[in-house]
C-alpha cells in the first residue's frame, strides 16, 4: 500500500496493493494501523454511498461546526475528486488538488478536516463510498459555489448536473469569514 502526499499538506492519495488472478481481485480497502501511520486518522463514525450519472457534480462541501475528515473511493465508474484548503491563514489557502478515482485504479483520497470536498462523475455511472470522522450535521453544512472564480477548479464539464442545494452554493465572499483558522504545528 502506498500513501502519496499531495501539494496540500495532509491530503493524501492512497494506492492499495491489488492482488488479481483468474477469479478476480483482492485488496485491503482500509487497515487502521497502516492508515494512522500515514496520517489518515479516524475514528470513522459514518460511511456514505452515492450513485450518480455522468456530469453529476457534488460539492464543494464542508462542515464548519462538526468538521469531517473523509476517506473517499469510487467503487464503480470514475470520478474527478477535489479537495480545497479552506483554512484561513494556511500557506495553501484556497489552493486545490485533484485525482481521478475509479473502480479500475482502486485509489482513495484522504480529505482531512479544514478542506472542502467535491467530485464530478466522468463515466456513464459512478458509485462513491466515503468514510467520515464525524456525523453529518446539516446545521453546520457549508456549500461553496462549485465554480467559485477565486478557487478556479477546471471541472471536466461546463454543464454539471447539480442538486438544488448545490445550485444555491454560496460565493466565497459570503462564507469566508466562517472558515476555520489554520492551526500552526
- Please identify every residue annotated as catalytic: 61, 130
Q: Are 77 and 106 in contact (CB under 8 A)?
A: no
| Residue positions counted in the chain | 185
C-alpha cell of 24?
478476480
Q: Are 122 and 77 in contact (CB under 8 A)?
A: yes
Q: Are 74 and 97 in contact (CB under 8 A)?
A: no
Query: How many angstroms separate the CA atoms of 37 and 23, rounded?
Result: 32
DSSP 161: B
146 CA to centre of own chain: 13
Q: Give Cα separations from 151 to 15, 52, 115, 156 (angstroms).
A: 27, 24, 13, 15
Query: How many angstroms separate the CA atoms of 52 and 120, rounded?
Result: 9
Amino acid at each position: 500500500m502506498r500513501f502519496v502526499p499531495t501539494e496540500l499538506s495532509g491530503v493524501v492519495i492512497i494506492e492499495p496493493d491489488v492482488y488479481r488472478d483468474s477469479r478476480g481481485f483482492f485488496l485491503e480497502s482500509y487497515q487502521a494501523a497502516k492508515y494512522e501511520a500515514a496520517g489518515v486518522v479516524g475514528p470513522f463514525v459514518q460511511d456514505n454511498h452515492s450513485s450518480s450519472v455522468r456530469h453529476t457534480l457534488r460539492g464543494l462541501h464542508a462542515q464548519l461546526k462538526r468538521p469531517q475528515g473523509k476517506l473517499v473511493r469510487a467503487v464503480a465508474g470514475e470520478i474527478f475528486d477535489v479537495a480545497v484548503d479552506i483554512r484561513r491563514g494556511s500557506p495553501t489557502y484556497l489552493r486545490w488538488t485533484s485525482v481521478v478515482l475509479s473502480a479500475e485504479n482502486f485509489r482513495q483520497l484522504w480529505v482531512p478536516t479544514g478542506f472542502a470536498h467535491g467530485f464530478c462523475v466522468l463515466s456513464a455511472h459512478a458509485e462513491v463510498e466515503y468514510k467520515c470522522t464525524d456525523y453529518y450535521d446539516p446545521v453546520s453544512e457549508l456549500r461553496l459555489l462549485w465554480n467559485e472564480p477565486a478557487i478556479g477548479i477546471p471541472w471536466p464539464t461546463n454543464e454539471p448536473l447539480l442538486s438544488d442545494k448545490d445550485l444555491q452554493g454560496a460565493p466565497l465572499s459570503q462564507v469566508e469569514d466562517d472558515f476555520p483558522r489554520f492551526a500552526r504545528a
